[in-house]
Structure 1
């Protein structure tokens, strides 16, 4: 399990003090995204919350132990990102963040972030929460202690977001989470480069001589027969772009084994 936490406060980084402007520059340096665009920023925030509060939790330990496959993780992570993004949109509406510019976040009260944190914690740790793999969250841990550890991790990470908003402002807190997502979620659905990754991956499937597959296309050959849903290139492209959590287990496993995350 990663011990990487959300940014809190204005920590120095290589001699640079983190500010809203520095974080915006960090985001622009990594991807062609304008952090001044509220919708684009909330996409990145959803990724950052997912990686810190969900993926880098005991869930990743369970994955490492073999309880979840790489395909399972792709479905779980993308589904969680999508659900958190929807909740961020609802939060913005509830607290009258109606401007298309993220500068409007500067006027948002920290109490709204506390409300957001509480909402996300409740949803993330519900034992009866249905996962796209068909099981519930409560089916994953093998003991009450494991479930409690997961709850503690989620609460800690969302509390860090609240602390950051309390000390340096709501916009800074969300920018810091967004900047982190670019470092740790570059191969994830909703990342700004995901669409290009999918196009490249799907096109390679029909090109066994592509260098990605190694000498003689050995890597592609070792994958074995393509599932029917992979053979349907148009359908695969659409599913990967819009809702990878809806892929069946066999397809998700094949796609991750093929190395979509390494494209």
Structure 2
């Protein structure tokens, strides 16, 4: 895997911050860098954001009926991918007998390198079936087909699903390689702390982060308050007929990718759950 492009004018410490520096950043933002479970959760969010959401995938999620991934699709894939990454990190902890961040620091780096490599292959596999039911290749092919049919798009002939997927794989390889470079320079904590720090700014409001339960509380508090400022004096959007809000709440906390289509659309487009902060 190739290493990411780095700013040659920055110092080595800036390019490869130590786990101790990252730990301090996390603590300064109110997180618990010595809490293994919390760091695994945040690392899973950060890895998904770095290796999926903030890549060429955004092109396949573009508006104007071009991107094959809708907002609802992204909500499901983001949360499901986060869950899969988290489970793989937890499995590594169990297999290595890791019970604390001190254990992570002293863990076998080769075993964690295997995890990073397998996640890289999983994210970039063109045949990977997303939780939405289509493959990664299908998403790219449909996006290009939509773009070429759009009157305002001019897609060069040499842009193909294969070339798009190759560009995406290069991005993920760079992110994975950077994590391994930091681990080689310091210790395995870098693989958790690095993405965890990234998630502070680039994955606000994500399922899986500490505080997400409070976000869900805020959403349902707003749904129970006709005078909440988020409605701007308008009626609260009614959920689809037959919706059990207690079940919706439980799924939001545990398996949001399983929320029924109509309810998911209601949450995203009518309620605007992502924008309800308190």
Partner residue of 2:45 out of 34, 44, 47: 47
Query: Measured at CA, do residues 59 and 88 of structure 1 come closer, stay the same or move farther in structure 2, by a change above 3 Å?
Result: same
Q: Is the 8 A contact 1:182 1:191 kept in 2?
A: no
Alpha-carbon deviation of 1:189?
Answer: 0.3
SS in 1 for 2:121: helix
**2:82 is the alignment partner of 1:81:** yes
Aligned equivalents of 1:256, 1:66: Cα separation in 2 = 17
Residue 259 of structure 1 corresponds to: 272
Unaligned runs of 5+ in 2: 142-160
Aligned equivalents of 1:9, 1:245: Cα separation in 2 = 41
Deviations 1:166-219 (A, max 9, x none): 1122113421221111221121101111101111102212322211111x126x
Unaligned runs of 5+ in 1: none
How many residues were matched structurally? Answer: 247
SS in 2 for 1:140: helix
Alpha-carbon deviation of 1:133?
Answer: 1.4
Alpha-carbon deviation of 1:9?
Answer: 9.0
SS in 2 for 1:200: helix
Alignment of 1:236-247 (within 5 A): 236-247=248-259
Alignment of 1:17-56 (within 5 A): 18-31=17-30, 33-56=31-54
Deviations 1:118-166 (A, max 9, x none): 1101211222322221212221112211122222222221111111111
Q: Is the 8 A contact 1:164 1:172 kept in 2?
A: yes
| TM-score, scaled to structure 1 | 0.85
Report the aligned-residue RMSD.
2.5
| TM-score, scaled to structure 2 | 0.81
Residue 164 of structure 1 corresponds to: 182
